[in-house]
A = this chain, B = another copy of it.
Amino acid sequence: MRLRIVLVGFGNVGREFARLLLERKSELAKVHGLRADVVAILTGRHGSVERAGGIDLRRALRLADAGVSLETCGHAVHVSSVDYLRRVRADAVIEISPLRIASRQIAVDHIVAALSSGMHVITANYQRLRRLAREHGVGFRYEGTVMDGAPVFNLFQEALRGLRIQSFEGILNSTSNHILSKIEAGGSYEQGVASAREMGLLETDPSMDLDGWDAAVKACLLVNVLMGGRLRPEKVRREGISSLTSTRIEAARASGRRIKVIARGWREGRTVHASVSLESIPPDHPLFSVDGTSSSLVVRTDMLKELQIVERDPGLRQTAYAIYSDLLAIRDGRLIP
């Protein structure tokens, strides 16, 4: 099977995914019978380029790393990204452009254009466009949206069939968790934020991380996809580390506890709820030992009581792998988790 892929966004994750495709090219062909050709790359800062026979990814990586335009990799694309996606001949669109808090997300326009044109979509951003994908009979997968490459949707939507999720709690925003670990190690809040910025962990708009937006979006996605909810992040009770006081940190430390940003989802009768809050948790809490950029999700179901997954010290490769595993899922006909 040949999949002609359009990459929308060529930042850290997009480049890591390109490196992964190069590295595993022969494995994809031999083991999975898949030839994955990137036929276009659309970016905001490096221009947009297409090449029907497949773009030389090594060259694209060199150009992007050097901070110059990609357009010498093929033919420059001069129409808008949305218009381009409406007319391109390709099989799958990988939408990984940067996240914004805006009422109108360009990423959504990309996804709508791609799905409506009958192309599979893989994203590591947060969207809920499954119905549209189903109507068009194409794939829409988004494993990388929560906990990077750790299997969340793969696990609870596909592997664990026939069970009902009652509630979950998790540490889902690794930036906040990293900053909290820095503060516990003796740093100030400002030093923690600076360290997160240095490591490239902070979203372009720091409020996404520090005010709990990112965790709220993820909690909604989990509640909506896994528990049949219809929540929107704006409606979720939300507390981020920007509201943390040093008194509260000291009080937690003195009693052997730790402050964590906990995202929750739960049922009350027939409705589902979500929240993001700063909590002081004791040492026997399942999330107590989740440090630094690690993340974890504890899920309670009718069948399995409590199941926890922990992803330790993820890097770019982990998110790139989420996209890679989605690509293999589409190849296998597992279109929508």
**Interface residue ranges, A against B (CB under 8 Å):** 24, 27-28, 31-32, 149-151, 154-155, 158-163, 284, 286, 288-289, 303-315, 317-318, 321, 324-325, 328-329, 332
Contact = CB atoms under 8 A, between A and B. Distances in A.
Contacts of A312: 286, 305-308
Contacts of A308: 308-310, 312
Contact of A321 (B24, B304, B309, B321): B304
Given A155-B159, A163-B321, A307 B303 contact: no
A161 B330 CA distance: 11
A22 B52 CA distance: 56
B159 A151 contact: yes
Q: Is the interface of A mostly helix, strand, loop or mixed?
A: mixed
21 contacts: A28-B162, A32-B161, A149-B303, A150-B304, A151-B155, A151-B160, A158-B158, A161-B332, A162-B324, A286-B310, A286-B312, A289-B289, A303-B317, A304-B311, A305-B313, A305-B315, A305-B318, A306-B311, A306-B313, A308-B309, A308-B310
Given A149-B304, A306-B313, A318-B303, A154 B162 contact: no
A154 B163 contact: no
Contacts of A324: 162, 303
A105 to B, nearest CB: 28
Nearest to A283: B289
Nearest to A162: B328
Nearest to A151: B159
Contacts of A305: 311-315, 317-318
A162 B27 contact: yes
Q: Which 5 A-B pairs have the closest CB atoms?
A: A154-B159, A308-B310, A306-B312, A303-B321, A161-B328
A158 B303 CA distance: 20
A329 B163 contact: no
Contacts of A321: 162-163, 303-304
A281 to B, nearest CB: 13
Given A286-B289, A308-B309, 14 more contacts: A24-B162, A149-B303, A154-B160, A155-B155, A161-B332, A163-B325, A284-B289, A303-B318, A303-B321, A304-B311, A304-B314, A305-B315, A306-B313, A307-B310
A120 to B, nearest CB: 16
A159 B162 contact: no
B311 A307 contact: yes
B149 A325 contact: no
Nearest to A158: B159
A244 B90 CA distance: 62
Name the residue among A24, A28, A309 with the largest chain B CB count within 10 angstroms. A309
Given A289-B284, A308-B309, A310-B310, A160 B325 contact: yes
A313 B1 CA distance: 44
A299 B169 CA distance: 22
Contacts of A313: 305-306
